[in-house]
Amino acid sequence: MHVLMDVMLVFALAVSLFSIFYGMPGNFFMVISSFFYGVGTGFDNFSITFIITLLGIVIALEAIEFILISFTAKKYGSSKWGIFGAVVGGIIGAISGAFVTPVVGAIVGSVVGVFLGAFLMEIIVHRKDLKSGVLSGFGAFLGKIGGMSIKVIGAVTMASMILYKVI
């Protein structure tokens, strides 16, 4: 039974890692998968405290990504509406890009969506000039790249921690 649970967990971790590129909460999927693995194995390999620690890491990673997008967009002159547009644009871009090409399209769509979301909100809502809109979008773009990089590093680290406990 444990072998089947181990295989299912490894598969779930792989799917979770790839789902991050789609703008989906892959790190949360990792925590949920680990929880169900723990329940299925009677928490033989790791404790509920370990799962709570993973959840804390996930929350910190999500917060860091949001803060980076907000900070860099603000640093480049974005308003709250521009930041909102960046977040929504990133989600819409990831989903629509995934239909073009699964992984690469989602990444490119997410990054382009963040830029366009901030840019359009600054131009449409705040009636800023083109230069200000472009700078706002560029700031959000830089934050998204940084946040996504940190989330991927965090996901690989979490997957390694989980696999270390299991294997």
pLDDT tens digits along 20-71: 776 677 899 999 999 999 998 888 888 999 999 999 999 999 899 889 988 9
pTM value > 0.75: yes
Q: How many domains does the chain have?
A: 1
What values do phi and psi take at 41, rounded to 5? -105, 10
Residue 64 is which amino acid? Answer: I
Give the pLDDT score at 1.
Answer: 64
pLDDT: which is higher, 3 or 56: 56
Distance CA 47, CA 41 (A): 11
Range of the domain at 85: 2-166
* pLDDT, tens only, 88-110: 998 899 888 878 877 778 888 88
In 21-129, alpha helices (H): 26-40, 48-75, 80-100, 102-124
Residue 152 burial (CB < 10 Å; 0-12/13-18/19+)? middle
pLDDT: which is higher, 1 or 134: 134
Split at pLDDT 50, 70, 90, the class of 158 is: very high
Report residue 38 as tokens.
């723990």
What values do phi and psi take at 56, rounded to 5? -60, -40
Distance CA 147, CA 64 (A): 7
Q: What percent of the chain has pLDDT over 90?
A: 56
Q: 149: how many CB neighbours lie within 10 A of its CB? A: 12
Which residue is it, tokens 């270390």? 164
Determine contact, residues 10/163, Cβ cutoff 8 Å: yes
Mean per-residue pLDDT of the chain: 89
